[in-house]
Structure 1
């Protein structure tokens, strides 16, 4: 069990983004890909705290709502205790809800941890901090052909809106049936060799074209611009890409 716990911590150290490092309860995966037709999936959790915790888990739409009633998955067990350095497996079971067949559906797995309180502390003032960690859960219809991250990137289309050269937005078109997570985005001016603007992350829904806002930025029509970014694949691994963006005339 100790060796298995160490394996989980090593995996997380290699694949997780910095915000995960503050969580006391960590999962063996940074996301769950639930393929249509599977009976269930098991996710391993590790309590990295030096104290026991009470853990509640549930699926919602990202709203942190433990009473969310329209989740397509049941999580078992829903509430359990974990000792320090303990490892626990939870089961995600699809309940048969009707979901889209031509694209992925996205939900969120919540891992809510409450530190145990010593009996003597109840007689004094104390600060007891709880924490909720969220993981993406993708439901992938069996009709979808899985694409490598390089192919998904080739299909993404970046452009400035056609309403003036000094646009304050960038359009990212995702024509694929998959959710795409992009992190560490930066608009780079190749002419001046400088970074114009940066974003932490953005989620690109299937078949949609979200806008990236540029606050207080003027773009020079005669300059060449490149968007540099990283995409996260099914395994949680990060891949670097870049695309040139033509200025609208």
Structure 2
């Protein structure tokens, strides 16, 4: 008896999020690690490419931060054209992301997430001797950042972050204040003090005009002095490093 296990469109948001870490096996890639949508512009293009050996069906949608939300239920101010398309092996497709309107803050960035679901085609009859196979749909999820018109200097944001060490709930945390209108996205974060380095846990980004704190692994008490070592990701997906003093030192 032939057996086929396939993850399809039903329940795809949950299933594909579990599989999204298997990026090394992805056949369809998205060009760019993040997409910036300039305010005042009607649309941008995002290029997808099939580097695999077989055709894929692509489904794309934008969510507002809930990675488990299905394409049928999400509500965002963006439309994708086309939202579903076939992408043959070795081919690429330019997908348009259009702003459909809505009241978004104009004094700071807003963040959304672009989802690309790669649904592979079924193997040809007779190509698998046993007739049994497991087929997975893989999802790529990248940041889609709406940047209002007039915000033109995102590079200044990392150098304007203000750092301190605070105690909260019996845990010592590294706290950052971001007075700028930009998101700052981290790839590494640690405190160097008292001749030791204390890495921060769970530090994806800090939102505009807000505070965020991160647990410091291994720090048991207050410190005097120290520097924050961090790496951040720029608009092009490149990584840069900075060092900044703790406030009051």
For normalisation by structure 2, the TM-score amounts to 0.80
- Match of 1:46, SS state, is strand
1:18-72 per-position Cα deviation (integer Å, ceiling 9, x unaligned): 9865533222222111111112111111112222211100111132321244211
Distance 1:40 1:202, change over 3 A: same
* SS of residue in 1 equivalent to 2:157: helix
Q: Which residue does 1:181 correspond to in 2? A: 185
- 3-state SS, counterpart of residue 29 of structure 1: coil
Quote the Cα distance in structure 2 between the aligned partners of 1:238 and 1:124: 46
Report which stretch shifted further, 228-237 or 123-132. Answer: 123-132
Q: Distance in 2 between matches of 1:38 and 1:158?
A: 35
What do residues 194-237 of structure 1 show as CA deviations (whole Å, max 9, x unaligned)? 32224464211111101101245314635x42221111112222
Within the alignment, does 1:34 sit opposite 2:41 as a pair?
no
Q: Is the 8 A contact 1:52 1:82 kept in 2?
A: yes
Cα distance between partner residues in 2 of 1:177 and 1:19: 34
Partner-residue secondary structure (3-state), 2:133: coil
Distance 2:208 2:54 in 1: 41
Change beyond 3 A, Cα 1:246–1:94? closer
Give the distance between the partners of 1:92 and 1:178, measured in 2 at CA: 21
Equivalent residue number for residue 93 of structure 1: 98
- Give the count of matched residue pairs: 225
Report the TM-score, using the length of structure 1 for normalisation.
Answer: 0.80
CA distance in 1, matches of 2:141, 2:157: 24
Within-5 A mapping of 1:167-178: 168-178=172-182
Look up the SS of the partner of 2:95 in the other structure. Answer: strand
SS at match of 1:85: coil
Please identify which structure carries the higher helix content: 1
Structure 2, unpaired ranges of 5+: 1-20
Quickly say closer, same or farther: Cα 1:219–1:243, change in 2 above 3 A: farther
Closer/same/farther in 2, CA of residues 234 and 139 from structure 1, 3 Å limit: same
| Correspondence for 2:65 among 55, 58, 62 | 62
8 Å contact kept, 2:80–2:96? yes
